[in-house]
Amino acid sequence: MELTPLKLIFFLTFLIHLHRYSSASTFPKEALPTKSGYLPVNDTTGSAIFYAFYEAQNHNHTSLSQTPLVIWLQGGPGCSSMTSNFYELGPWLVTPSMKQNVEHLELQPNPGSWNRIFGLLFLDNPIGTGFSIASTPEEIPTDQEAVARHLFIAIRKFIALDPLFKSRPIYITGESYAGKYVPSIGYYILKRNPLLPLSKRVNLHGVAIANGLTDPETQVGTYALHNYYLGLINEKQKTQLEKLQLEAIQLTKAGNWSHATDARINVLSYLENVTGLATLLDFRRYRPYDTDWVVQFLKNPEIKKALGVNESMIFEDCNDVVTKALHSDVMKSVRFKVEYLVKNTKVLLYQGQCDLRDGVFSSESWMKKMKWEGLQKFLDAERDVWNVNGVLAGYVQKSDNLSHAVVLAAGHFVEADQHVNSQALIEDWILDRGLFASKHIPNLFMDI
Ligand SMILES: *[C@@H]1O[C@H](CO)[C@@H](O)[C@H](O)[C@H]1NC(C)=O
Ligand SMILES: *[C@@H]1O[C@H](CO)[C@@H](O)[C@H](O)[C@H]1NC(C)=O
Ligand SMILES: *[C@@H]1O[C@H](CO)[C@@H](O)[C@H](O)[C@H]1NC(C)=O
Ligand SMILES: *[C@@H]1O[C@H](CO)[C@@H](O)[C@H](O)[C@H]1NC(C)=O
Ligand SMILES: *[C@@H]1O[C@H](CO)[C@@H](O)[C@H](O)[C@H]1NC(C)=O
Ligand SMILES: *[C@@H]1O[C@H](CO)[C@@H](O)[C@H](O)[C@H]1NC(C)=O
């Protein structure tokens, strides 16, 4: 099947001030997910994870059983993967346009969609997030083990939906707080698989994290230096920020989890206050990312119906109840899970260069602390200049199972800022192409 990206003009009558939609608008057939709906994670209570799946645009039936499946998890904690679907990496992006002096939101094809040659599955995780259902607030996970348990059930239920899914290589990806989720579900899968019959295993082939929070105790210690060298704070403010960082680090070391999270919030709040930036997610921006468009779009009952969601459900970009449930989880490190993953599968860590929350320096600071026999080789590896269509896109460093990429001209939402480059990155990494191909090993015999 080859889907020609139709320039399909579809719009909702969206009056800027009234925020009211034309009830006549529908979801165009071309833009509908291949499948969407619910994956129950608890049959007793009815709690369920919402999913939207887009089959690869370019595939044939013969190759489909080998076409990679990419799973995407949004961060938060408590933020919906529908934001990434319709704003960052899905095949259709919510885009405003003016029609007869009225602002409309329309769906436009994404030239950098991640489902060009891979199946793409968005999960609203954990339950209570986005369109996912938490039957009771008590059921919302409060730690990463519970998150992984639910995700494992949901992923297995998804694979069971189609016999062709079973053999497909699975890659788990996500950004920001998914720096916790991705290693946690990856680790859970690797630990569980050997205990299960072949037919019930999850065919994990790799994990990728964008701008992740993974080892918070290390990462919270990087803000002062990073922002000082960017010229965003002066020496006195740097000293004050270091003091606030130290509080967060000490509370983390003491295992005083809830207060440690509060102390990290203080660090970010101080930084926001003194820099006056519109958002720490991208220091170039004079206004925050326009994710509100997605919220407006998903208010429409017709859109919800088309996605298989009950019309009474109210979509929130990020859910406070979920954020609170995971409050004591924030400062807990999952670095040991990444260490386990890199020994057993491939791992990609990448960051938009302009992110001040979980950026390049923040990630490199914990990567170099990893306990992994391949680490020194990785740290000694060349960092290659990465071009896309002949234009500088960033940098890639790879050794063995670990890859690191810096995406230029991108903030926290790398895929929103660099649609096409993020597509090139994920495709090359999954297919071991370009800078991700195994390096040519000189034939010593010939050299002699
Ligand atoms: C399902 O919910 C029940 C009641 O809250 C709980 O006892 C059980 O552990 C849950 N199962 C899973 C897999 O979370
Ligand atoms: C199907 O795709 C595979 C892998 O891309 C390719 O090798 C094969 O030739 C294709 N078959 C047809 C009938 O197009
Ligand atoms: C946790 O930290 C807070 C704030 O510093 C402090 O008031 C509280 O006593 C600490 N709790 C424990 C159990 O140490
Ligand atoms: C940042 O500013 C807000 C509003 O003025 C204030 O409430 C907050 O305490 C400040 N944060 C820090 C860490 O100083
Ligand atoms: C939608 O939710 C409402 C309120 O919870 C419920 O009464 C109704 O039966 C649901 N509709 C469907 C089609 O599930
Ligand atoms: C990389 O992963 C493979 C499994 O895919 C494993 O056999 C190998 O030991 C790993 N390499 C290192 C250096 O950890």
Q: What is the pLDDT of residues 187-239, one digit of tens each?
A: 999 999 999 999 899 999 999 999 999 999 999 999 999 999 999 999 999 99
In the set 215, 317, 355, 358, the catalytic residue is: 355
Q: Is the peptide bond before 96 cis (omega within 30 degrees of 0)?
A: no
| Residue 247 CA, closest ligand 3 atom number | 5
Ligand 5 proximity of 312 Cβ (cutoff 6 Å): yes
In the set 150, 226, 404, 412, the catalytic residue is: 412
**Residue 355 is encoded by which pair of tokens?**
């992110």
Give pLDDT tens digits for 57-107: 998 777 899 999 999 999 999 999 999 999 999 999 999 887 777 778 889
Cα separation, 350 vs 446, whole angstroms: 37
Atom 10, ligand 6: which residue's CA is nearest? 343
**Closest ligand to residue 46's CA:** 1
Is 412 catalytic? The answer is yes
**Closest ligand to residue 252's CA:** 3
Ligand 6 proximity of 399 Cβ (cutoff 6 Å): no
Ligand 5 proximity of 314 Cβ (cutoff 6 Å): no
**270 Cα–ligand 3 center, Å:** 21
- Residue 22, classed as helix, strand or coil, is coil
Is there a contact between 51 and 37 (Cβ–Cβ < 8 Å)?
yes
Is 176 catalytic? The answer is yes
Ligand 3 proximity of 259 Cβ (cutoff 6 Å): yes
Ligand 5 proximity of 305 Cβ (cutoff 6 Å): no
Give the CA count within 13 Å in the CB-facing half-sphere of 142: 8
Cα separation, 341 vs 348, whole angstroms: 11
| The pLDDT of residue 441 | 53
Is there a contact between 306 and 26 (Cβ–Cβ < 8 Å)?
yes
DSSP output for 91-118: SEEEEEEEETTEEEEEEEE-TT-TTSSS
Q: What is the pLDDT along the chain (448 residues), one digit of tens a residue?
A: 333 333 233 333 333 333 444 433 557 788 999 999 999 999 999 999 999 999 999 987 778 999 999 999 999 999 999 999 999 999 999 998 877 777 788 899 999 999 999 999 999 999 999 999 999 999 999 999 999 999 999 999 999 999 999 999 999 999 999 999 999 999 999 999 999 999 899 999 999 999 999 999 999 999 999 999 999 999 999 999 999 999 999 999 999 999 999 999 999 999 999 999 999 999 999 999 999 999 999 998 989 999 999 999 999 999 999 999 999 999 999 999 999 999 999 999 999 999 999 999 999 999 999 999 999 999 999 999 999 999 999 999 999 999 999 999 999 999 999 999 999 999 999 999 999 998 655 444 444 3
Pocket of ligand 1 (CB under 6 A): 42, 44-45, 139
User: Within the chain, what is the greatest distance between any pair of CA atoms?
Assistant: 77
Given the structure tokens 């139709």, which residue do they identify? 6
| Strands laid side by side in the 402-407 sheet | 35-40, 48-54, 119-123, 69-73, 170-175, 204-210, 346-352, 402-407, 391-399, 383-388
Atom 12, ligand 2: which residue's CA is nearest? 60
Query: Which amino acid, one-letter code, is at 173?
Result: T
Q: What angle do CA 54, 192, 47 make, to 5 degrees?
A: 55
Give pLDDT tens digits for 177-194: 999 999 999 999 999 999
Cα separation, 86 vs 293, whole angstroms: 9
Write down the number of H helices and E strands in the chain.
17, 13
Ligand 4 proximity of 266 Cβ (cutoff 6 Å): yes
If one residue of 262, 269, 277 were mutated to test the ligand 4 pocket, choosing by the most ligand atoms within 8 A of its CB, it would be: 269
In the set 80, 84, 176, 362, the catalytic residue is: 176
- Rounded to 5 degrees, φ, ψ at 282 are -165, 110
- Residue 399, classed as helix, strand or coil, is strand
| The pLDDT of residue 25 | 52
Q: Is the peptide bond before 126 cis (omega within 30 degrees of 0)?
A: yes
Nearest of 238, 206, 218, 184 to residue 364 by alpha carbon? 218
DSSP output for 423-448: HHHHHHHHTT-GGGSPPPPP-HHHH-
Task: Report the interhelical angle of 144-159 vs 178-192 (nearest 10°).
Answer: 70
**Closest ligand to residue 345's CA:** 6
Is 226 catalytic? The answer is no
Atom 1, ligand 1: which residue's CA is nearest? 42
Q: Which domains does the chain have, with CATH numbers?
A: 11-215+292-444 (3.40.50.1820), 219-275 (no CATH)
| The pLDDT of residue 21 | 41
Nearest of 317, 241, 242 to residue 85 by alpha carbon? 317
Query: Is this prediction's pTM over 0.85?
Result: yes
**118 Cα–ligand 2 center, Å:** 14
**Residue 391 is encoded by which pair of tokens?**
């234009």
Cα separation, 190 vs 202, whole angstroms: 9
- Residue 147, classed as helix, strand or coil, is helix
Ligand 4 proximity of 270 Cβ (cutoff 6 Å): yes
For residue 229, what are the β-bridge partners?
none
Who's near 300: CB < 8 A, 6+ residues apart? 12, 21, 25
